[in-house]
């Protein structure tokens, strides 16, 4: 899924090493010209170290978010209420795994190995979207994650299809198409529940109440507290500011909530005719930072599940490498 639309420095240091490049005025000028012309920087091109480092951090955090994002919903695959819902959910969770793979591949083109990135994630140094550190308590949470979390992700990721770094931009085009399916399946699941029993309707409302504010925080701190955003905009990595994306999300979601028949849990949420946008209440940034810094309800559980999956899969990686070595040997023998 899902990038956080800001760069959180990874904890510790220096696992995510970027390849150092010489500073050369001509190269810098060429890079600036491509950026100014709204062109694409490709892996073979010279780029400033800071640009490379920013991208490695952002793309790897995004990749980690995709695969950690599989966990809260994966918990519901065995408990989906029908074969149809189970099939849809399996497809969605599988998509998220695929998003992780495209993004790890994009980050690798910047000179960082996948092992380095996994090591940063598994040792707890790397960040991922804090939204996945909350539990999925009922089936309605799965629908709300599709509707709101994937919905916020789309808002955030569509501008990334125009990112100045070619491999990231191209990966995001396919990701966004799949996120659109995720959002619709979530909304459709909730619509079905809202036509059901009073208990089902209450379950949907409860899930919306628990996820709404966390989704607004997914867009990252207010613009006034996001000093790195300016540089990201200059480099064509970031196209729309955190606050503008958040506003677009609120404006798009309010009419959807009305059709669904749920209330968004914000007494200050109202249309402002003068601004042509909805006003909304204050986000609890203390809670957000608590979760980003490892103290959310599920941080430890998510990390432990990831590490276990990595360790349990060691034999598969070893077998694949042994097979590749055998193939190579055979090809060499046949060529001799």
Q: Which residues bind Fe ion (CB under 5 A)?
A: 1, 66, 96, 99, 150, 179, 182
- Token pair for residue 5? 């639309």
Select 10 or 150, whichever has its Cβ closest to Fe ion. 150
Residue in 74, 83, 61, 66 with CA at minimum distance from that of residue 9:
61
Select 129 or 205, whichever has its Cβ closest to Fe ion. 129
170 CA to centre of own chain: 16
**CA separation for the pair 144, 128 (Å, rounded):** 20
- Token pair for residue 203? 């379950």
- Closest distance between Fe ion and the C-beta of residue 158, in Å? 13
Select 54 or 157, whichever has its Cβ closest to Fe ion. 157
**CA separation for the pair 114, 151 (Å, rounded):** 28
Select 56 or 89, whichever has its Cβ closest to Fe ion. 89
- Closest distance between Fe ion and the C-beta of residue 87, in Å? 16
> What DSSP assignment string belongs to 286-312?
HHHHHIIIIISTTHHHHHHHHHHHHHH
DSSP SS3 for 62 = helix
Residue with smallest beta-carbon separation from Fe ion: 1
- Closest distance between Fe ion and the C-beta of residue 217, in Å? 18
Select 168 or 280, whichever has its Cβ closest to Fe ion. 168
- Closest distance between Fe ion and the C-beta of residue 117, in Å? 17
Residues comprising the chain, all counted:
336
């Amino acid at each position: 899924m899902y990038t956080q639309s800001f760069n959180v420095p990874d904890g510790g240091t220096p696992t995510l090493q970027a390849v150092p490049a010489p500073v050369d005025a001509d190269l810098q000028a060429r890079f600036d010209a491509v950026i100014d012309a709204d062109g694409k920087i490709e892996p073979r091109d010279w780029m400033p170290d800071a640009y490379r480092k920013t991208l490695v951090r952002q793309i790897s955090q995004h990749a980690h978010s995709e695969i950690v994002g599989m966990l809260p919903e994966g918990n519901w695959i065995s408990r989906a209420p029908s074969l149809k819902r189970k099939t849809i959910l399996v497809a969605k969770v599988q998509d998220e795994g695929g998003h992780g793979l495209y993004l790890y591949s994009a980050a690798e083109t910047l000179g960082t190995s996948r092992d380095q990135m996994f090591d940063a994630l598994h040792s707890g140094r790397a960040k991922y979207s804090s939204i996945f550190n909350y539990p999925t308590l009922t089936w309605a949470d799965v629908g709300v994650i599709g509707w709101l979390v994937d919905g916020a992700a789309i808002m955030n990721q569509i501008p990334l299809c125009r990112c100045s770094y070619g491999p990231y931009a191209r990966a995001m085009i396919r990701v966004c198409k799949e996120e659109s399916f995720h959002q619709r399946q979530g909304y459709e699941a909730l619509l079905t529940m809202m036509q059901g029993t009073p208990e089902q309707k209450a379950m949907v409302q409860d899930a919306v109440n628990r996820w709404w504010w966390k989704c607004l925080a997914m867009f990252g701190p207010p613009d006034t507290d996001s000093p790195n955003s300016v540089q990201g905009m200059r480099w064509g990595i970031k196209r729309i500011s955190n606050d503008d994306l958040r506003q677009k999300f609120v404006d798009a979601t309010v009419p959807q909530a009305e059709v669904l028949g749920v209330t968004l849990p914000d007494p200050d949420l109202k249309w402002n005719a003068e601004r042509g946008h909805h006003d909304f209440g204050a986000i609890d940034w203390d809670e957000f930072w608590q979760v980003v810094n490892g103290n959310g309800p599920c941080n430890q559980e998510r990390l432990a599940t990831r590490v276990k999956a990595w360790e349990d899969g060691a034999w598969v990686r070893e077998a694949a490498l042994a097979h590749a070595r055998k193939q190579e040997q055979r090809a060499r023998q046949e060529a001799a």
